[in-house]
Amino acid sequence: MSEYEAVIGLEVHAQLLTHTKIFCGCSTAFGKEPNTQVCPVCLGLPGALPVLNRAAVELAARASLALSATVQPVSVFARKNYFYADLPKGYQISQFDRPLALAGHLAIPSGDGQKTVRIQRLHMEEDAGKNIHDRGDTSIVDLNRAGVPLIEIVTEPDLASAEEAGAYLRALREILVFVGVNDGNLEEGSFRCDANVSIKKKGDPELGTRVELKNINSFKFVEKAIKSEIARQELLLSDGGKVIRETRGWDDVKESTFTLRNKEAAEDYRYFPDPDLPELTLGVRDIETIRNTLPELPKDKRARFARELSLTPAAAEVLTSHPRLAAFFEETAMLTSDGLRAANFIQSEVLRDAEFHGTVATFPVTPSQVAGLLALSESGQISGKQAKEVYAKLRGTTLDPKAVVAELGMSQLTDPAAVLALCEEAVQANAKQADAYRAGKTSLFGFFVGDVMKRSKGRANPGVVNEMLKRLLGAS
C-alpha cells in the first residue's frame, strides 16, 4: 500500500455545436481544405471586430444548467495573451475572472457507489488554429478551427484515481451529447481533456505540487497517463525528490509522460477585459427560457426506465448511452405492450448493427418494425428464433414484418384445432410409447413434442403443443 494519495482536477474543452464560429460567420464544419473557412475576424486582421454568436451563448448556458452550475447574470470576455503560430491575433478571447457559470456538479460511479464531483467553473472561449506538418517539406497553419466556440469545464481537485477521472469524462461527455451541446468526438478533437495531477501523504490537508497533462485524445490514454504520472511522482517523492510544476505530454509508445514545457502562471498571460466586446448579460428570463428547453438528463432517464419499464440498471445504462438510442428504445417501447422485451431485443439484435457518430445515429430498422416483429412473436405467430430470422430480412428495408413472415411462410401454427390434429396423429403413430407414458414413464413427453414439431415442420406453437399433448396423454 502506498503512503500517498492522488489528487486530480480536470479541464475539458468541448466544442459547441454551432454552425458558425463564436465571433464571426465562418463555418465550423470539420475536415475542410485548410484556410477555406476564414475571414478578417478569425484571421485576426487589424481593425476586424468580433460579434458574439448568440447560439454559442445559448449552448454554453445549456451545458451549465445541465451540470447544475449557476449561470452568472454578467460575464466578461478577456484576452489571454500569448504568442504561437496558430494564434494570429496574439491573444485568445476567453473568460477569466468572470466566467459564464460557477459551482456545478456531476455524479459519477465510483467503487460500488457514487461520488459527486464539484465543477468549479464553466467559461466560453475561442479555439486556436492548427499547425500541420505532414505536407511535404513545409508546415502550414490551418486557421479553419480558429474562432470555433468552446466551453472549458473545470473541476475542483475532487478526483482520486485514474478510474474516477475516466468515469467523470464519460459522464461529462454523455451529458453534453445528451443536451445537444457537443458531439463528444475525441478523435476530431471536439472533446479534449487536460488532467492536473498531484500526490500528497495520505490525510495531509495540503495539496501537493501539480503537473498538467495536456492534449490526450482518448479516454484510455488519459487513464494510462494519469496512472503513470502518479507512479512517477510517488517514485520521485519517496526518493526524496520534488515534483516540479510543469506541463507534460503522454508518449503512448514509451507508456510514460514527458516534459512539454514549464507551466505558465496566470500572470504571464496578462489577461484583461476585451475592449471590443461588451459584458455578456443574461437575465433570469433568458436563463429560464434555456432551462425549459433542456431535455431529460441521462440519469433521470435511467431511473425512469428502471421504474416504469422494470429495466435492470445495466440495461438502462446501455439504452441511455446515446440520446438517439434512448429515443429509439422509448419509441419502440411505446408501440409495444412489453418494454422489457423491447429492451432485450434492441440490446441483443438492433444494437449490433446500429452506428453512432457524434450526435447522429443510424439504425438498421425502425421502432415500428421492431414493435411489429415483437407483436408477432408475443402473440405466438412466430417463435423467438423465427423473430431473429425475420429481423435479418428487415434490416435495411422498410418492409412490414407481417409481410416478411408471410413471404417466408413461417407463421406459427397456433390454431388449437390444427395443433390438436397433429398431436392426435403423433399419439396414434406411437401407441407403445403412449402406453409407457401413461404407465408412468413421463420422460417420454419430450419425444412426443419432438414428433409433433417434426410433423408441423417446426411451425407448431410449443405452448399449444404442450397443452394438447398433456390433454391427450393424460386422459386415458
Would you tell me which residues interact with ligand ADP (CB under 6 A)?
Answer: 7-11, 154-157, 196-198, 207-208, 210, 266
Is the Cβ–Cβ distance between 53 and 20 less than 8 Å? yes
Whole-number Å distance between alpha carbons of 199 and 232: 10
DSSP state of 92: E
**Of the two residues 17 and 26, which places its CB atom closer to Zn ion in the complex?**
26
Q: State the amino acid at position 324 in one-letter form.
A: R
Q: Binds 176, which of ligand ADP, Zn ion, none (CB < 5 to 8 A, cut-off by type)?
A: none
Q: In what order do the strands lie in the sheet with 91-95?
A: 91-95, 77-81, 272-273
Q: Binds 376, which of ligand ADP, Zn ion, none (CB < 5 to 8 A, cut-off by type)?
A: none
We find the least distance from the C-beta atom of residue 147 to Zn ion, in angstroms, to be 6
What string of DSSP letters covers 209-241?
--EEEEEE-SHHHHHHHHHHHHHHHHHHHHTT-
Torsions phi, psi for 180 (to 5 deg)? 75, 30
Q: Binds 16, which of Zn ion, ligand ADP, none (CB < 5 to 8 A, cut-off by type)?
A: none
We find the least distance from the C-beta atom of residue 212 to ligand ADP, in angstroms, to be 7
221 Cβ partners below 8 Å, 6+ apart? Answer: 250, 252
Of 300, 288, 279, residue with least CA distance to 65: 288
Strand partners, 357: 360
Q: Binds 159, which of Zn ion, ligand ADP, none (CB < 5 to 8 A, cut-off by type)?
A: none
**Of the two residues 147 and 208, which places its CB atom closer to ligand ADP in the complex?**
208
**Of the two residues 42 and 413, which places its CB atom closer to Zn ion in the complex?**
42
**Of the two residues 236 and 436, which places its CB atom closer to ligand ADP in the complex?**
236
Q: Binds 179, which of ligand ADP, Zn ion, none (CB < 5 to 8 A, cut-off by type)?
A: none
**Of the two residues 210 and 322, which places its CB atom closer to ligand ADP in the complex?**
210
We find the least distance from the C-beta atom of residue 41 to Zn ion, in angstroms, to be 5
**Of the two residues 11 and 338, which places its CB atom closer to ligand ADP in the complex?**
11
Is the Cβ–Cβ distance between 10 and 193 less than 8 Å? yes
36-48: b (≥16 Cβ within 10 Å) or e? ebbeebbbbeeee
Cα-to-chain-centroid distance, residue 59: 18
Of 101, 102, 106, 100, residue with least CA distance to 118: 106
Which DSSP helix (H) or strand (E) runs through 307?
helix 298-309
**Of the two residues 207 and 421, which places its CB atom closer to ligand ADP in the complex?**
207
In the complex, residue closest to ligand ADP by CB: 9
Q: Binds 39, which of Zn ion, ligand ADP, none (CB < 5 to 8 A, cut-off by type)?
A: Zn ion
Whole-number Å distance between alpha carbons of 154 and 157: 9
We find the least distance from the C-beta atom of residue 40 to Zn ion, in angstroms, to be 7
**Of the two residues 52 and 453, which places its CB atom closer to Zn ion in the complex?**
52
We find the least distance from the C-beta atom of residue 208 to ligand ADP, in angstroms, to be 6
The grid coordinates of residue 364 equal 438498421
Whole-number Å distance between alpha carbons of 472 and 476: 8
Question: Exposed, middle or buried, 143 (CB in 10 Å: 0-12/13-18/19+)?
Answer: buried
We find the least distance from the C-beta atom of residue 310 to ligand ADP, in angstroms, to be 39
We find the least distance from the C-beta atom of residue 110 to ligand ADP, in angstroms, to be 17
Is the Cβ–Cβ distance between 370 and 330 less than 8 Å? no
DSSP state of 264: P
Q: Binds 11, which of Zn ion, ligand ADP, none (CB < 5 to 8 A, cut-off by type)?
A: ligand ADP
Q: Binds 424, which of Zn ion, ligand ADP, none (CB < 5 to 8 A, cut-off by type)?
A: none
We find the least distance from the C-beta atom of residue 195 to ligand ADP, in angstroms, to be 8
**Of the two residues 43 and 140, which places its CB atom closer to Zn ion in the complex?**
43
Q: Which residues bind Zn ion (CB under 5 A)?
A: 24, 26, 39, 41-42
Is the Cβ–Cβ distance between 169 and 193 less than 8 Å? yes
Q: Binds 199, which of Zn ion, ligand ADP, none (CB < 5 to 8 A, cut-off by type)?
A: none
We find the least distance from the C-beta atom of residue 255 to ligand ADP, in angstroms, to be 22
